[in-house]
Amino acid sequence: MTDNRVQFFLSYAWNDNRLPPGEHSDKRPFVSALTGQIEYHFNDAKPNNPSLWWDRDNIDDGTQFRPAIRAAIEASSFLVIVLSEHWLASEYCQLELQMFRERWRHEGDFEFKHRIILAHKSEVPRERWPLLLPEQRGYQFFSKAGPFYRLGRVSDEFYDVAEELAQVLIRRAKHAVFEPPPPPDPPPPPPKGLKVYLAKPAPDMRDQYLRVHRELVRDGFNVVPAVADEIPLDAGAIGFIDRELGDARVSIHLLGRSAGPAPTDLEHIVKLQLSKAAERIPAAGAADNAAFHRLIWAPKNFDDSSGHAAERDPIDTLKSFGAQRSGDRTEGNSLSPFIDFLRVHLGDIKPPPPPDEPVSFDHIYLCHDESDTEYAAEVASLFEEHEINYIMPAYFNTTDLERRQFHRERLAECTAVVMCWAKASEMWARAQSKELRSWQTLGRTQRFVCRGLIAGPPPHLRKDDNMLRHLFPSKEIDLVLNWAQTEKPSIEALKRIFNQNAEQRAHE
C-alpha cells in the first residue's frame, strides 16, 4: 500500500461478477459496476482519499490462492463483503475472511466486526452467516420488488445505494489511521505433552477447529501445525504435512460439508491430510492407543448444501472423504462432547519419554600423580583430538598446600573425574579412589557423571581385571579401564562407556 492511505479489501465471489452468455461486452457485471461507483466517489474524497483493493482477474475455487491477495489483506484496514449465496459457498471468500481476522487478531470480536461492511447482492438468511460477520444490516442491492442489478442492467436504486455505501466508507476512512500488521507472536516453547496433529479444516469448520486447538493447547498437548501456519497450495503441501505429522501420536480430523481448497495437482486439503495420516497407521492396524491412529469428528447433525438442517451417518461421512482404516475412532456427537472425548482419550496415551540428555564432557578432571604426568598427557591428547575439554592437576613450582587446594576445587566443580594410574604407588591410587566415595563431602552440588580409573603400564598382578575391581569398588569408581597391557581403545568406546554408566546412575 502506498501513501499510508486507508485501504478497503473487497471480498467477492467470481460468480457475482459474470455477465450472461451473449451479452454485449460494454455492459459491466455486478462487482465491476459496484467498484466503479465506489472508486468514483473515492477519487473525490480529497485530500486523503481511501483506496479500494479488489482482484480484477476473478479467481475461483480452482485457482491457487495468490500471494498478492494475502499481501493486500495485510495492508487493509477494512473488509467490504459482497454477500451472496455465491460468496457463502466460496472456499476462498471464507479464507479471505479468516485471514482478515488473523490480520487483526489483536482486536476483540466487537472491535473487529466494525471493520467489516456488508454489501448484500442477494438475500442470505442471517442464520447462515459466518460467526465473524457483524450484526449490522449493511447495504442492500435488492428489495421485495427484485434486484437492483439484473442481467447487466442497473436501476437508479443501484446508484443510490452504491453512493451511500461509498460515502460511509469515506467517513470510516477519515476516522481511521493505517496500522501496520503487528509483529508475529514469538513462538512459545514447545509443549512437553503428547504431540497431536490437528488437521487444517475446510473454511466451514474453521470456528470449530479454533476451539479444539484452543482447548487442547490449554490442556498441555503439543498441537501441530500452528494456527498461523497454512498448508501451501502447491507441491509443497506434501512436505508440509509430512513434517508436521512427524512423530505425532494421533491425528484429529474435523469433517464438515467441504473438502477445502486443493493444492495444485493434489487432493483437497481435508482428503489429503486424511490420506497422509493413513500412511502412518501400522499395517496390522492400531490395536491400541500406543499405535498411531486417527480421530475423526463428523457431526451427525449438520446443514446440507441448501443450508437446511440434516442428519447424516458419521461413518458414511468419513467414507465420502477417504477410506476408513483400522484403529479409526469416528465420533458424531456435538462439539463439546467430542472435546470431552479427546481429553479422556488423549489423556490415556502416555507420551514418549524425553530423549536422554547427552553426557557432557566439558569438565573432566584428569587426576594423576606427578610421576604419571607423561602417561596422563597421552590420555589428554586423546581427549584433545576429539575436542573433549579437560583439566590436569598442578605440580610444577607449587606447594603441597596449593596443590591440595587446587585438587579440591577441581573435584568440587568438574563434571567427571578420571584417574590415571601407571607408575604411581598403589597407596596413592587407593587414597584418591576413597576420596571419591562421597560427593557431598567434596562440596559438590550434584553427583559426578562418572568416576573413572584408567590403569596404564607397567602391567602388574595388582592390575589384573579382577583385582582392579577389588581394589577400586563400585562405591568409589564407576568405570575401570585396564589399558596396562593392551592398546588404548578408541575414544568412541570411551564415550560409549561413559554414556552407559551415566544412564545406569540416572536410574539408581
What would the pLDDT profile of 143-180 be if each residue is shown by its tens digit? 988 889 887 778 899 999 999 999 999 999 988 876 77
Which helix (H) or strand (E) covers residue 116, if one does? strand 116-120
Q: Where in the chain is the domain with CATH 3.40.50.2300?
A: 364-506
Compute the chain's Rg from CA coordinates.
36
Q: Domain 7-174 is classified in which CATH homologous superfamily? A: Toll/interleukin-1 receptor homology (TIR) domain (3.40.50.10140)
Q: How far apart are CA 210 and CA 65, in angstroms?
A: 21
Side-by-side strand order, sheet with 7-11: 51-53, 7-11, 78-83, 116-120, 139-140
pLDDT at 359: 47
> Is the CB of residue 212 less than 8 Å from the CB of residue 254?
yes
- Where are any strands of DSSP class E within 255-357? 293-297, 301-303, 309-311, 329-331
Alpha-carbon distance of 411 to 439, in angstroms, equals: 9
Task: Check residue 190 and give its pLDDT.
Answer: 59
The three-point CA angle 494-499-501 to 5° equals 95
Tell me, what's the pLDDT at 2?
A: 47
pLDDT at position 508, please?
52
Cα–Cα distance for residue pair 160/140, rounded to 1 Å = 11
CA gap 114, 432 in Å, rounded: 77
| Sign of the dihedral defined by the CA atoms of residues 54, 57, 60, 63, in that order | negative
Alpha helices in 175-235 (DSSP H): 206-218
CATH architecture of 195-347: 3-Layer(aba) Sandwich (3.40)
Instruction: Find out whether 193 and 221 touch, Cβ atoms under 8 Å.
Output: yes
CATH 3.40.50.10140 residue ranges of the chain are: 7-174
Q: What is the pLDDT of residue 302?
A: 77
Cell 465491476, located at residue: 32
Report helix, strand or coil for 146. strand
pLDDT of 62: 46
- If one counts every other C-beta atom within 10 angstroms of the C-beta of residue 20, the result is 10
- pLDDT for the residue numbered 179: 74
Residues 6+ positions from 248 with CB-CB distance below 8 Å: 195, 196, 197, 224, 292
Class of domain 364-506 (CATH, top level): alpha beta
What is the full per-residue pLDDT of the chain (508 aa) written as tens digits? Answer: 445 789 999 999 988 988 877 666 667 899 999 999 999 999 887 767 899 999 875 555 444 456 778 888 999 999 999 999 999 888 788 889 988 998 998 888 888 999 999 999 999 998 888 888 988 788 999 998 888 988 777 889 999 999 999 999 999 998 887 677 777 666 656 566 889 999 999 988 988 999 999 999 989 899 999 887 889 888 889 999 999 998 899 999 999 989 998 988 899 999 999 999 999 998 764 456 678 999 999 999 876 656 677 899 999 999 999 999 988 999 999 999 999 999 999 999 877 665 545 444 458 999 999 999 999 998 888 888 877 889 999 999 999 889 999 999 999 999 899 999 999 999 999 999 999 999 988 989 889 988 999 999 999 999 998 899 899 999 999 988 888 886 665 566 566 556 655 555 555 5
